[in-house]
């Protein structure tokens, strides 16, 4: 009688890249906290606007993709592991709602979210 090969649990390969560094910068800069203080969401929301903006920032810094492909990017990259967010929650409608919520706060003048403007424009300072 022939013995059947036994395999372990299938592995999943995801790109890690700079996600841990970006996630750490986001936490240190308290980007999600700043966005959430200005743009609160309802009790039923699965993600806060701050969480979505952090992941979108990570996307822009690692492998920019059109908004309709951010969920695919998050699935292929280790977004869930680095940010604790399920990729399926990052559809273009959800990202659009977060961008709509934050847009009024991104104008000129001293605003707490200016840290986002400076970070995205020039990258983290050395």
User: pTM score, two decimals?
Assistant: 0.77
Return the structure tokens found at 32. Answer: 């999600």
Which residues does residue 15 pair with via DSSP β-bridges, in sequence order? 77
DSSP state at residue 77:
B
Contact 52, 60 (CB under 8 A): no
36-57 confidence digits (pLDDT tens):
999 999 889 999 999 999 999 9
Of residues 115 and 44, more confidence is placed in 44
């Amino acid at each position: 009688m022939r013995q059947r090969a036994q395999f372990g649990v299938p592995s999943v390969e995801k790109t890690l890249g700079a996600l841990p560094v970006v996630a750490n910068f986001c936490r240190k800069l308290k980007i999600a906290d700043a966005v959430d203080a200005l743009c609160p969401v309802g009790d039923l929301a699965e993600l806060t606007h701050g969480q979505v903006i952090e992941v979108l920032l990570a996307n822009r810094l690692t492998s920019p993709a059109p908004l309709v492909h951010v969920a695919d990017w998050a699935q292929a990259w280790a977004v869930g592991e680095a940010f604790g967010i399920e990729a399926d929650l990052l559809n273009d409608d959800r990202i659009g709602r977060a961008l709509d919520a934050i847009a009024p706060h991104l104008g000129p003048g001293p605003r707490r979210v200016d840290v986002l403007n400076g970070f995205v424009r020039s990258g983290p300072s050395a």
